[in-house]
Amino acid sequence: MRPIRIEDPQDPRVAAYLDIRERDLAGRQGRFVAEGKVVLEMLLAAKRFSAESVLVLENRLAGLDGTLRKAPADLPVYVTASEVMDRIAGFHMHRGILAIGRKGAAQPAEALLDTLPARALIVVLLGIANHDNMGSIFRNAAAFGADAVFLDATCCDPLYRKAIRVSVGAALKVPFASFTETIGFTAALDRLGFGQFALSPRGQTGIRDAKRTERLALYLGTEGEGLPESLLARLRTVRIDMAEGFDSLNVAAASAIALHYFSTGRT
């Protein structure tokens, strides 16, 4: 693999990297940005996604030799100086490693459900709009062996650059799919034999008293409002007990505790 030198920030070969922050907000027409060495390694190892190109600072190239050996032989690797990369990206790129990935076709939630094993632990997200929280939840899902993450239509994109970075590439590893209608999705999980726990500070059952089923879905809602009351009325609600005078945890921290607890074989 021979690196391709980029001298001009307007070189059309690196057009996909221009003005990263602004285009993050506008969307990338089926593409996403991976940032950093660990995330690049995750992208190159991913089965669901593919790398389109890599853009690297000249002083970071030698340290990527082993990583790039895992890439397809025809993957373009662009190399440039720091000032040129900053002008391409639109801000200072201190990490110095970027890649463009392709999302491919979205996987329907029903199709992903059909692939899950007889003993499965999944995360169901409603209204998670903060990219830091989204990335952290995916990182926790990977760390504690969740089989999949499912998102409603109001969640932010797990493949947003910051979400991928915060997840340390877990958003490229943990299978995920979106659903459009919550009632229908919970009904589908019922048919497939899933126990369904809704995490809430007002949950009726303390997490230490909640017994996991062979197939278990953990529901998490947005900061502040939490899960919809209509959903809490239908599902078993579980709380993480707090010290006196304190109400709740950040949703990402709550996901870590719940995933750890239910991933350790408690039945």
The number of helices, as runs of H, and strands, as runs of E, in the chain is: 10, 12
Which pLDDT score, from 0 to 100, does residue 249 have?
Answer: 86
Across 168-193, average pLDDT: 96
Whether the pLDDT of residue 267 is over 60: the answer is no
Which pLDDT score, from 0 to 100, does residue 28 have?
Answer: 64
Across 246-259, average pLDDT: 91
Range with lowest mean pLDDT among 59-68, 90-99, 133-142: 90-99
- Judge residue 74's burial from the number of C-beta atoms within 10 Å of its C-beta, 0-12 exposed, 13-18 middle, 19 or more buried: exposed
**pLDDT (tens digit, 9 = 90+) per residue, 33-50?**
999 999 999 999 998 999
* Single-letter residue type at 200: S
Whether the pLDDT of residue 264 is over 80: the answer is no
Which pLDDT score, from 0 to 100, does residue 92 have?
Answer: 82
Which pLDDT score, from 0 to 100, does residue 22 have?
Answer: 66
**pLDDT (tens digit, 9 = 90+) per residue, 90-101?**
888 778 999 999
Whether the pLDDT of residue 81 is over 90: the answer is yes
Which pLDDT score, from 0 to 100, does residue 42 have?
Answer: 95
Residue 42's closest CA among 5, 84, 97, 79?
97
pLDDT band at 24 (very low <50, low <70, confident <90, very high): low
- 99, containing H or E segment: strand 97-102
Percent of the chain at pLDDT > 70 equals 96
Which pLDDT score, from 0 to 100, does residue 14 have?
Answer: 94
Which pLDDT score, from 0 to 100, does residue 21 have?
Answer: 74
| Per-residue tokens: 251 | 């949703």
- 151, containing H or E segment: strand 148-151
